[in-house]
């Protein structure tokens, strides 16, 4: 009996170790394109990878996954384009409304309800511009992490555009905007 218990404990330890190693490998496999540099991904595929990686972080913290919202995506895309085209890296570029104004213009707000919104922006080139690198950087920043893990948020708009505010429309870089929200 003692031998069986020792084997069971050893088998359990090996199983727990294997399970601890699986999520990272599985996460990379399930978020297609997550590790690719901007030059190797379409903007649409990069946006899908960002949403997948964000929802993996939320699940890891026992939170509901976010659902993509058309109006938020439209607002994020318009803001991204403006940042790249005008060389502006900010939550509000000259001549542009603030986040609430952009979401109102896109049709997410007003809603005659209570609501909350937040935004993360980033850009990078090469491996530093991959969806995983961007989400990892956001998770390493308290404010960006709070947006990703905001328990109240239900919706998200994700935009990824080729190019950066610093270098323009070059294919080796990408600019990212995620708009988070809830309406009750």
Half-sphere exposure in the Cβ direction for 152 (13 Å, CA): 11
| 84-117 tens-digit pLDDT | 999 999 999 999 999 999 999 999 998 889 999 9
pTM of the full structure: 0.83
Q: 32-183 has which fold?
A: Pathogenesis-related Protein p14a (3.40.33)
Rounded-to-integer distance, Cα 25 and Cα 160, Å: 24
Greater confidence (97 vs 20) lies with 97
DSSP 39: G
Residue 8 has pLDDT above 80, yes or no: no
pLDDT of residue 168: 84
Rounded to whole angstroms, the Cα distance separating 148 from 66 reads 9
Q: Would you kindly state where each structural domain of the chain is located, as residue ranges?
A: 1-30, 32-183
Per-residue confidence (pLDDT) for residue 57, from 0 to 100: 98
Q: Is residue 160 within 8 Å of residue 54, measured between CB atoms?
A: no
């Amino acid at each position: 009996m003692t031998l069986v218990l020792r084997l069971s404990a050893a088998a359990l330890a090996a199983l727990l170790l294997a399970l601890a190693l699986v999520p990272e490998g599985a996460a990379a496999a399930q978020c297609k394109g997550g590790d690719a540099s901007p030059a190797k991904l379409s903007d649409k595929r990069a946006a899908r990878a960002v949403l997948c990686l964000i929802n993996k972080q939320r699940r890891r913290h026992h939170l509901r996954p976010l659902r993509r919202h058309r109006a938020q995506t439209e607002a994020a895309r318009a803001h991204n384009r403006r940042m790249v085209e005008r060389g502006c890296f900010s939550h509000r570029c000259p001549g542009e409304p603030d986040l609430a104004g952009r979401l109102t213009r896109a049709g997410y707000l007003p809603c005659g309800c209570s609501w909350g919104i937040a935004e993360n922006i980033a850009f990078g080139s090469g491996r530093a511009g991959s969806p995983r690198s961007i989400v990892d950087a956001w998770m390493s920043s308290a404010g960006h992490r709070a947006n990703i893990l905001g328990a109240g948020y239900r919706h998200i708009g994700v935009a990824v555009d080729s190019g950066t505010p610093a270098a323009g429309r070059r294919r080796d870089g990408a600019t990212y905007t995620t708009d988070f929200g809830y309406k009750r």
